[in-house]
């Protein structure tokens, strides 16, 4: 393979895709072409959706144009990926067919709301950019009643986010003077609040919920949503307002390519290689096993590190050095409490004999670190 002809194609401009593109550009030779494709022409961190609910941010002023990466010499195509053809080393978009030498799949997940009958007609989706401003307005006008949060599928991206939303809305209702008139229930198919973080951290989070009079109902698997009624495998509950996290799925192009079985995600090891030569997968679209029962959480910080890992190994291959980078599984997530404080879950996924997790106490410093987390990456990537 000639250096003159090397083309690295990145599908998806989220945490993983942008981190990989920037790492490649910083380290690769000038004759390596980098192309990023995304169906959106903007980037915004999912954590901002919580601030839109809170009312401290607006979508219009928080998104950043993805074509700004072209200033760095990275090509950007605002197109939908229709087909991935690993055997042919090509990707088909809505307008063209593109050849590559190295492919990084960072397409994230899609929300499979259709898997829960009645959800779209009777609930609002926490991760849907079109719903978060509606949630803000609904909470602003809520005076009393039953507010339900429901996680409807596992795994889901950014595990603490639904709990953060509950804490933020709890604070909004307090500030409006109506919290005592609103019952808040949180439903999950899992037995613990954060199974991926282990029993100790899950219990700490449960205690935080209890301290704010938010009732957690574990082992409640949603099967249907009716007007003002959640139906579970083991019963039903009423609500006046429902905020849901629907099941997730990979994009259709991933299933059609044979990279993953229908309803699953792309299986990778710590080098993020797929079954096809020079094809890597990173971030939420993947499933990376830690043990037989534990997988790496779908979180931006891990997608970012996986993107850097893959970029370094591609650079090593290009310059004929040994690939030695592996995803280390270290990182963490903030847990915002809505009171200008945040806790921090520190994680070492590949610690032996089991993953190491630690919930650091809520402080204003952690909240400032969360805000800086966004600023730093926007400056670095875009």
Please write the tens of the pLDDT for every residue from 2-53.
446 899 999 999 999 999 999 999 987 778 999 999 999 999 999 999 999 9
Among the listed residues 279, 277, 246, 251, the one whose alpha carbon sits nearest the alpha carbon of residue 264: 251
C-alpha to C-alpha distances, 196 to 257, 339, 346, nearest whole angstrom: 29, 25, 12
Beta-carbon contacts of residue 71 (< 8 Å; ≥ 6 apart)? none
Please write the tens of the pLDDT for every residue from 247-285.
999 999 999 999 999 999 999 999 999 999 999 999 999
HSE of 311 in the Cβ direction (CA atoms, 13 Å)?
A: 25
- State both tokens at 137: 């307005």
- Gap between the Cα atoms of 368 and 284, Å rounded: 26
Helix (H) or strand (E) holding 180: none
Among the listed residues 217, 213, 146, 160, the one whose alpha carbon sits nearest the alpha carbon of residue 188: 217
| pTM of the model as a whole | 0.96
Residue 248 backbone dihedrals phi, psi, to 5 degrees: -110, 160
Beta-carbon contacts of residue 60 (< 8 Å; ≥ 6 apart)? none
HSE of 123 in the Cβ direction (CA atoms, 13 Å)?
A: 31
- Gap between the Cα atoms of 163 and 342, Å rounded: 12
C-alpha to C-alpha distances, 207 to 174, 212, 231, nearest whole angstrom: 19, 9, 26
pLDDT of residue 29: 75
Please write the tens of the pLDDT for every residue from 293-324.
899 999 999 999 999 999 999 999 999 999 99
| Region of poorest pLDDT, from 19-33, 89-103, 137-151, 304-318 | 19-33
In the chain, which residue ranges form alpha helices assigned H by DSSP?
Answer: 15-27, 47-54, 59-62, 119-122, 129-140, 161-175, 198-211, 252-256, 300-318, 364-381
pLDDT of residue 4: 65
Average pLDDT score, the chain: 96
Length of the chain: 382
All domains in the chain, ordered by first residue: 3-109+250-326 (3.50.50.60), 113-244 (3.50.50.60)
Q: What is the mean pLDDT of residues 105-123?
A: 98
In DSSP terms, which residues pair with 238 in a beta bridge?
229
* Residue 367 predicted with pLDDT over 70: yes
């Amino acid at each position: 393979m000639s250096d003159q002809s090397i083309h690295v194609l990145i599908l998806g401009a989220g945490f993983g895709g942008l981190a990989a593109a920037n790492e490649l550009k910083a380290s690769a030779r000038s004759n390596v072409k980098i192309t990023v494709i995304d169906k959106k022409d903007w980037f915004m961190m999912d954590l901002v959706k919580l601030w839109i609910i809170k009312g401290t941010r607006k979508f219009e002023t928080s998104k950043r144009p993805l074509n700004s990466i072209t200033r760095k010499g990275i090509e950007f195509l605002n197109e939908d990926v229709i087909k991935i053809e690993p055997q042919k080393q090509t990707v088909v978009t809505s307008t063209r067919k593109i050849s590559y030498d190295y492919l990084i799949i960072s397409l994230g997940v899609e929300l499979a709301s259709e898997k829960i009958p009645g959800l779209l007609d009777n609930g609002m989706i926490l991760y849907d950019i079109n719903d978060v401003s509606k949630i803000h307005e609904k909470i602003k006008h809520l005076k009393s009643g039953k507010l339900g949060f429901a996680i409807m599928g596992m795994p889901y991206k950014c595990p603490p986010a639904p709990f953060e939303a509950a804490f933020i809305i709890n604070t909004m209702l307090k500030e409006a003077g109506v919290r005592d008139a609103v019952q808040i229930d949180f439903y999950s198919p899992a037995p613990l609040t954060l199974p991926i973080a282990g029993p100790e951290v899950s219990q700490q989070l449960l205690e935080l919920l209890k301290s704010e009079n938010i009732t957690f109902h574990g082992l409640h698997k949603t099967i249907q949503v009716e007007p003002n009624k959640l139906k579970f495998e083991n019963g039903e509950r009423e609500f006046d307002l429902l905020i849901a996290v629907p099941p997730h799925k990979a994009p259709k192009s991933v299933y059609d390519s044979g990279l993953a079985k229908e309803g699953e995600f792309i299986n990778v090891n710590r080098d993020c290689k797929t079954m096809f030569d020079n094809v890597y997968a990173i971030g939420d679209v993947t499933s990376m096993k830690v043990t037989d029962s534990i997988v790496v959480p779908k979180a931006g910080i891990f997608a970012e590190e996986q993107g850097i890992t893959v970029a370094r190994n591609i650079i090593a291959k290009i310059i004929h050095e040994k690939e030695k980078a592996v995803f280390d599984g270290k990182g963490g997530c903030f847990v915002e409490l809505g009171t200008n404080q945040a806790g921090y879950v520190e994680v070492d996924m590949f610690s032996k004999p089991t993953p190491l997790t630690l919930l650091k106490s809520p402080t204003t410093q952690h909240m400032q670190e969360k805000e800086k987390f966004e600023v730093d990456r926007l400056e670095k990537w875009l």
